[in-house]
Amino acid sequence: MQFEGYRRNSHVPNLTPLIDIVFLLLVFFMLTSHFVSEQFINIELPEAETAETKKNSKDLQVIIRSDGVFIYQDKAVKSEDLVILLTRDLLKQKDKLVRIKGDRSTHLGKTVELIDLSRKAGAQGIDIITLKSSAQ
């Protein structure tokens, strides 16, 4: 005589489909989202009452940090290299304009040096980016 064995009824739900769905969602979100790592350069712009709003993403922009370091295309560059980079990029530009974005505590000497470097590179116009002053 053969006895039928006890069936073990498991009351634990099968988690395999749930885990599969979670991994699929994880893969989906990883593939569809883009991770942007914006580099933030902490500068405090000077204020001017006559400041104008002008945005053109094609203009060449050089940043001067408060410690006097030049930033061009999100990279710190030396003066010699900046002239080469600006010369190369100004040849592609129609307006030949360089925009200077400098910290308010930057020494005037570094600003004058950047203006001189821009002119050596072939810039025909130089803008200094400021904030519109709230005092009227």
What pTM does this model have? 0.61
**Cα-to-chain-centroid distance, residue 116:** 26
Q: Is the pLDDT of residue 38 over 90?
A: no
Q: Three-class SS of residue 76?
A: strand
- Out of 42-46, 73-77, 105-109, least confident range: 42-46
Could you tell me which of 97, 93, 105, 112 has the C-alpha nearest to residue 61? 97
Query: With bands split at pLDDT 50, 70 and 90, how would you rate the model's confidence at 70?
Result: very high
Angle between helices 108-121 and 79-92 (to 10 degrees): 40
Q: For the chain, what are the domain ranges?
A: 47-132
Instruction: Report the CATH fold assignment for 47-132.
Output: Nucleotidyltransferase; domain 5 (3.30.420)
Pairing of strands 75-77, 97-102: unpaired
Per residue in 111-120, pLDDT tens?
Answer: 899 999 999 9
More confident residue, 9 or 108: 108
Q: What are phi and psi of 61, to 5 degrees?
A: -125, 130
